[in-house]
Structure 1
């Protein structure tokens, strides 16, 4: 019965794909589809090998179907349906600490894109987008992901966006966001059911300016971001997504952020990317005063493999335990695996899923084009905490309070494209925890993933 539940949404999407293909041929719609298959192994979640849920072994099946229709020149409607199911080999339902674990998880069929676009209304150099859409600014450090609970199934925002093209190769974006904490708001899942996407309802404003002319070959960005969080209260802070229940507390308050970003050539074969942001406001009844810095220096080695070396440094301020205020950096809409899939599962030891904060990260990496269709990335990250803060119950239980070294992280990622319709990757991560974590949280962790993606 559960296997049938797992395959019904995929069958429905396949039928819709065939119908759309026929319609597209008749009415000149443009459309596309993809199917992503993943096998995931995770070892020692929580850095504790004695935990009954430390080992994870599961498959993910994601199918997407999208189409667009040009209503008039400059007016367009785009939609995309997504479904993702999972099958868990480990952990078993009996080992999960809360009832409701689904070994065969059949998620919702929902729209993660439903947006109306209007270009150059009245002849103005303006583009308007209204509805469910993806938003990515810069390299996605602060604005990329609104739904961290569903783990790359979707990254959508419910938003209105106006993009104004100005003289001098300058672009100005004004965005209003109104995001529900779950999938219960229109457009709801087509096969029923409501899932949590994040702990709180969020609204906000983004004002983002970008210039590509002041420095040849460079991007210069400046921005202001406002985010308001209103808790989605559930009994015991219980959340549900990906087939299992878990607890995660909600945020409340108002965060303001002002920042700047540059991505520029420095000299022959050298390039610098640097971004800094200051945050203030209130969070959970405390005054916020936080800072973040994210940098990358890249050297093109100029060899036959098109290989590059990069050196990164990232700083996210931590909460000073001697202060009544809150200095912990808020990643805003950046709760996604920017540099580590494994750490996504470890952040709840002190914050929440994907919520990176209180961090110094030094990274040395190498990227090479081994074949025209195959690329290899190798990275080493040294991780420290900015503060030894143990304010919350989770921090008191999981953080030693005696050291600030988070650990050594090694990552490898091999990506390849077999043909126009088939691509895949293999990735692996290994982390040796340091003395920042409590004594029972120092078992080595690993993450391994294999993926195939078929696209049309």
Structure 2
């Protein structure tokens, strides 16, 4: 059994807003029970679930920001096959948390109508992980997300997703990731491709330097057909590549990544033992030109995240003071209006964490 509580409150300077004021809600972030017999393991209750690189399953509560990512779920794992695990999933997270203490009746999934307690993120599936080939581990899955109630103008039919992920070791210093998935349902036909090659730079091995070349593609909905071709990120409505650009999708329901074609390069290095720098440079297009500007160019994205540890063992043998600085810039393209193109978007976040 594991239990975890969380409380998050905020102060807004402009406009003056007390919607997340202290004390706010106290949320049961994790509360689950494990049961194991032979090759079977059952986990029942409120739990975190992260699969792959988080492109389909990572965040069950997308509308509460970074406060929680939990799922109210049942996960049954079978490990009786060699080098293989099979997870059977059943997910049902309500739009408003019925267990919240000092509740603020807050919507945590992005529900947009009716009684929010009737809304939910619901579905399930089967997720297989296999490591029988040493240099080519792979994953395969079937997922279903049932009638969505969070965005009224999108296709609400049940959505079935099938996909696979390959993680080849190409050479001693070169590794890859390739994930492809397809979504079907009544009047639904959408797909995703997530590809990346990572070079571990031998000359900078002591600094753990890595150079990545990637491509992320999410289909967009073609308004000239009767089908819905727009990719649905299921339970992956989190910032993914950008804390700034995730808000570009907020009108579609809290981080609903779709209609995106982004090649990118990234670089990671630790010049000091307690400092890690992550850089990303990408250009974003929209496969479907459904933006206010009428073009396909979403724009240039630049991100820089610096993770650091200031001090360890301040008061105990295990405590630590750490944090990060995050800078992001986005130069809008012709997917946006002329006025929007005249304004570079920027994002800055500084964080300090004391853990013990």
TM over 0.5: yes
Counterpart among 135, 144, 167 of residue 226 in structure 1: 144
Asked if the contact 2:143–2:160 (Cα under 8 Å) also holds between the matched residues in 1, the reply is yes
Other-structure match for 1:306: 208
Give unpaired runs (5+ residues) of structure 1: 1-76, 94-100, 238-247, 390-394
1:379 to 1:448, Cα distance in 2 relative to 1, 3 A: same
Which structure's CA Rg is the greater one? Answer: 1
Other-structure match for 1:139: 53
Coordinate RMSD, CA, aligned? 1.8
Within-5 A mapping of 1:246-395: 252-282=156-186, 287-302=187-202, 303=204, 304-348=206-250, 351-389=252-290
Other-structure match for 1:203: 122
Q: CA deviation at 1:147?
A: 1.0
Q: CA deviation at 1:182?
A: 1.3
What is the rounded CA distance, in whole Å, between the counterparts of 2:230 and 2:208 in structure 1? 39
Other-structure match for 1:410: 302
Q: CA deviation at 1:413?
A: 0.5
| More moved, 197-206 vs 145-154 | 197-206
Q: CA deviation at 1:176?
A: 0.5
Q: CA deviation at 1:105?
A: 5.5
Runs of 4+ in 1 over 4 A off after TM superposition: 248-251
1:148 to 1:330, Cα distance in 2 relative to 1, 3 A: same
Other-structure match for 1:427: 326
Q: CA deviation at 1:250?
A: 7.4
Instruction: Count matched residues.
Output: 338
What is the rounded CA distance, in whole Å, between the counterparts of 1:250 and 1:358 in structure 2? 14
Structure 1 residues 48-70: Cα deviation after superposition (integer angstroms, max 9, x where no partner): xxxxxxxxxxxxxxxxxxxxxxx
1:230 to 1:290, Cα distance in 2 relative to 1, 3 A: closer
What is the rounded CA distance, in whole Å, between the counterparts of 2:91 and 2:77 in structure 1? 15
Other-structure match for 2:115: none
Q: CA deviation at 1:309?
A: 0.3
Other-structure match for 1:118: 35
Other-structure match for 2:15: 91
What is the rounded CA distance, in whole Å, between the counterparts of 1:295 and 1:361 in structure 2? 11
Q: CA deviation at 1:217?
A: 4.1
Asked if the contact 1:231–1:250 (Cα under 8 Å) also holds between the matched residues in 2, the reply is no
Q: Report the 3-state secondary structure (helix = DSSP H, G, I; strand = E; otherwise coil) of the residue aligned with 1:205.
A: strand
Asked if the contact 2:24–2:103 (Cα under 8 Å) also holds between the matched residues in 1, the reply is no
Higher helix share goes to which structure?
Answer: 1
Within-5 A mapping of 1:133-172: 133-172=47-86
